[in-house]
Amino acid sequence: MQDFVLISVPWMLNQQVTTHDERGNIVPEDGEYQRHGADVVFVFAEFLKAKGLLNPTVDVSRRPDLELRFSELTPIGQQFARFALDKWMRSIGRAGLNKPVNDQGLERLWAKFTPKTA
């Protein structure tokens, strides 16, 4: 399998969002969507690091250029990302921008996750 960027703060920060008010007028963008998206990346990366699911040299400090490549995850980390990332991001999306991003949903998914052994 070719390597790829799994999650990316720069990608989130560069998203263009157009919002309309009840009259259909464009509401100026305040960056809330982008900040929320960056928080999602930070929380996921920090969760992986805390669980030992990243290669030891991977730096997940909160910075605007943070990206995680699939190859930077351990084999179990790769399995967990396949199992959980889409589910967790959908739940974050359903919760909306007003709910702070945390790792509670990831912890629930971690409890359900069973890694496959070779």
In a domain, 13, yes or no: yes
Grouping H, G, I as helix, E, B as strand and the rest as coil, residue 9 is: helix
In a domain, 118, yes or no: no
In a domain, 117, yes or no: no
Nearest residue to 44 via CA among 96, 2, 8? 8
- The per-residue pLDDT for 111 is 97
Summarize pLDDT for 49-71 with one digit per residue, the tens.
Answer: 999 999 999 999 999 999 999 99
In a domain, 59, yes or no: yes
Give the count of domains, the chain. 1
Q: How far apart are CA 71 and CA 81, in angstroms?
A: 12
pLDDT averaged over every residue in the chain:
91
In a domain, 67, yes or no: yes
Q: How far apart are CA 67 and CA 10, in angstroms?
A: 8
In a domain, 35, yes or no: yes
In a domain, 10, yes or no: yes
Q: How far apart are CA 1 and CA 49, in angstroms?
A: 23
Q: How far apart are CA 93 and CA 87, in angstroms?
A: 10
Summarize pLDDT for 7-36 with one digit per residue, the tens.
Answer: 999 898 888 888 888 999 888 888 888 888
- pLDDT-based confidence at residue 82 (cuts at 50, 70, 90): very high
In a domain, 55, yes or no: yes
Which residues constitute the domain of residue 86? 5-112
